[in-house]
Amino acid sequence: MDLNYKATELSLALPGTDDSPELNTTTTSTPIKTNKRGSPEMGPSAAGESKSAPRAKAQVVGWPPVRSYRRNALQGKKVEPEMGSGMFVKVSMDGAPYLRKIDLKVYKSYGELMKSLEGMFACIIGLYNEKEGYNGSKHAATYEDKDGDWMLVGDVPWEMFVTSCKRLRIMKGCEARGLEL
Amino acid sequence: MGFPEEVLEHVFSFITSHTDRNVVSLVCKSWYEIERWCRRRIFVGNCYAVSPAMMIRRFPEVRSVELKGKPHFADFNLVPDGWGGYFYPWICEMARAYPWLEEIKLKRMVVTDDNLELISKSFKNFKVLVLSSCEGFSTHGLAAIAANCRNLRELDLRESEVEDLSGHWLSHFPDSCTSLQSLNMSCLSSEVSFSALQRLIARSPNLKTLRLNRAVPLEKLSTLLRRAPQLVELGTGAYSAEIRPDVYANLTEAFSRCKEVKGLSGFWDVLPSYLPAIYSVCSRLTSLNLSYATIQSPDVTKIITQCPNLQSLSVLDYIEDTGLNALSLSCKDLRELRVFPSDPFVANANVSLTEQGLVAVSEGCSKLQSVLYFCRQMSNSALTTIAKNRPNLTCFRLCILEPRAPDYLTFEPLDVGFGAIVEHCKQLQRLSLSGLLTDRVFEYIGKWAKKLEMLSIAFAGDSDLGLHHVLSGCDSLRKLEIRDCPFGDKALLANVSKLETMRSLWMSSCSVSLGACKRLSQKMPRLNVEVIDEQGDLDSRPDNCHVEKLYIYRTVAGPRFDMPSFIRTMDQNPTYRS
């Protein structure tokens, strides 16, 4: 019976002298590609919020290690009624210390929505249009749709927007330019 | 050694730590004998390491038993249902052997209503029941405890999963029961009878700890507080109500009377307008748990800046870096910080909490020893700064939400950063790793982490060398839990004797073969090598297939027989011993 001693040996020789192919002891091993990697022109410091297309993660069992009673306790807070009693979505603005919530059902058009947001965050948000692009305003409104993609506010008909918008984010105008492409 | 027994017994009575008592018992035969007759408290870290009969045979006069069952990763649903950890065999034997038992403390065990009823009827002087992260029982079992334990001092159900049939159990405490000092029912969802609760509190003059459940309404909290101004630890119920000046005034006044309160928790569903009601107790607070409070940074900050004596804080990441900065300036006595994620499954940060918050706290809070931190980005430089700021850390658990996330500034692995942690924090006992890590981090851990007792690894490493560094280098290692790492047979089989010096090893979604499990088991008869594989048919699998999950622990009780079909203890057949 072959007890395969070789398989039980662990050689502690210098890295590279062991014949097992899976040993990777180089210190500058390239990081495994994750969706945290930004596009080259953004530079290393851009990792984080300004990534292209942030999306919801596929859930791995038991990760992150948060106990279910904790998750459930917070889950309860997030269940928002979508029919009848309102369609509340979170609104964040880059640089603001906390988020707001608005009821999309209250508005009839993009114009009304923008006015309300401008009042809430005391900023000027422009509406993008094909001819003028961003009309020089400092901020742009974007939203996350049902697929988890980040879209520029204003492209689709209002009714379609209301049903597909999950949350809003007011970005700095320069960053929003990437979404135009 | 010429002292009479009584003198030695008296001396031993001052030795309370379990490790010290174990050492005492090894001095000589007569000390072993004296010690075992006067040992009153037993701690069994793994309920399968020893049998109840063995415990009772050696220690006949025990008053307090503490047991732990399932592996820690059971908290994150990695241990399948039916795994084990049954309290049943223990209570059966203890009910007969320890009529004077006063305390039972269980963690991650399966306890049934029958077990609870047996406890309530077997021990005339029963005082303390702590069920931490347990399951398998309902409120019927609690009713039996309430009804029958005449001298109950403590009932603590922390984080247990209870089948909540009704709140009626609380009404089973008889009017004659006035001994209650501690009640933690925060994990229950049903509403208990408020008048029964009120009367129970009113007739318990020694009640020091009261943790209510979410269903106790805020409007009624002041009524309870007024009857228990001696409380030291309070857990509120839901912390919101219709905004009414009289409710607010009553609450504020009730809190101001609680001169002994040092710890606050609860705070589900917080309505910020009601927060100022607690301000009068803030200056005395040493412990604050706001980890269910979905309040934003300014509200959190407003509270903590009024708590200069705070030693332990649990919060959600809504606190953000600004709040943590304020914490670092206001709470100079802070020992423990835990920051939980508000939205763990969303890829992008919804709050501005980064590594900077933790760096700030490490700078400002010189007594900080214990950290649990969930965040979305980390850098080697931040980790190195934290390590140099706080060499007194004893527990460092970092969870970067994205598996294998690199240093967000340099895109390199976080080996160097965690290396700095283990190098500088020489008293580190517990470490949880995350982010992108190669075998190099394990080299550092094996080299520096000599006091490390518990290590948690996920999505890390490149090869068996990583695991080998840990097993061969960490002299104090007791518990090792690993998931989703490319560790296989070599490291395990090269460190078999190490495994007997540890309490347990958990490995799931790694590269350990069935054959290696068998070989390990054959080499080490005092280990139980349990393979968990829910795909079924372990008998017909080839030796080179990888096992799903593996749990190895030392034991003097031999293989267990209470396992479901998908768990198998590897055979210790001596014919094949090499």
Put simply, the chain A residues between 92 and 121 with a CB less than 8 A from any chain B CB are: 92, 97-99
Put simply, the chain B residues between 349 and 378 with a CB less than 8 A from any chain A CB are: 349-350, 352, 354, 374, 376-377
**In this predicted model, which residue has the larger pLDDT, A115 or B447?**
B447
Residue A31 near residue B411, CB atoms below 8 Å: yes
Task: Output the pLDDT for position A147.
Answer: 76
Question: Does A63 contact B297 at a Cβ distance shorter than 8 Å?
Answer: no
- Does the reported pTM lie above 0.90? no
- Is it the case that residue B42 has pLDDT exceeding 60? yes
- Please check whether residue B322 touches A, CB under 8 A: yes
Question: In angstroms, what separates the C-alpha of B294 from chain A's closest C-alpha?
Answer: 8
Burial string for B210-227 (b: 16+ CB within 10 Å, else e) reads bbbbbbbbbebbbebbbb
Q: At A90, is the pLDDT very low, low, confident or very high (cuts 50, 70, 90)?
A: confident
Poorest-pLDDT segment among A1-5, A47-51, B117-121: A47-51
Mutation target to probe the B interface, by most B beta carbons within 10 A, among A2, A8, A72 is A8
Which tokens hold the place of B126? 């029963």
pLDDT in tens, A7-23: 455 555 454 444 443 33
When CB atoms are compared, the residue of A49, A63, A99 closest to B348 is A49
**How high is the ipTM of this complex?**
0.91
Residue B462 near residue A29, CB atoms below 8 Å: yes
Distance of alpha carbon B165 from alpha carbon B157, whole angstroms: 15
What percent of chain A is helix, strand and coil (3-state, nearest 5)?
30, 15, 55
The span from the first CA to the last CA of chain B, in angstroms, equals 44
Instruction: Collect all residues with Cβ–Cβ distance below 8 Å to B499 and sequence separation of at least 6.
Output: B471, B492, B505, B520, B524, B527, B552, B554
Residues B289-314, mean pLDDT to the nearest whole number? 97
- Is it the case that residue B522 has pLDDT exceeding 50? yes
Whether the upstream peptide bond of residue A64 has omega within 30° of 0, thus cis, is: yes
Residues B348-363, mean pLDDT to the nearest whole number? 94
- Is it the case that residue B21 has pLDDT exceeding 90? yes
Question: Does B377 contact A47 at a Cβ distance shorter than 8 Å?
Answer: yes
B301, B303, B341, B342: which is closest to B325 by C-alpha?
Answer: B301
Which tokens hold the place of A154? 């204003």
Question: Does A63 contact B76 at a Cβ distance shorter than 8 Å?
Answer: yes
**In this predicted model, which residue has the larger pLDDT, B186 or A116?**
B186
Question: In angstroms, what separates the C-alpha of A162 from chain B's closest C-alpha?
Answer: 21
Q: At A58, is the pLDDT very low, low, confident or very high (cuts 50, 70, 90)?
A: low
B461, B508, B465, B468: which is closest to B486 by C-alpha?
Answer: B461
Dmax over CA atoms of chain A, in Å, equals 81
Residue B485 near residue B457, CB atoms below 8 Å: yes
pLDDT in tens, B114-148: 999 999 999 999 999 999 999 999 999 999 999 99
| CA–CA–CA angle B540, B542, B544 (5° rounding) | 155
Residues B166-187, mean pLDDT to the nearest whole number? 96
- Please check whether residue A34 touches B, CB under 8 A: yes
Mode of pairing for the β-strands spanning B263-265 and B312-316: unpaired
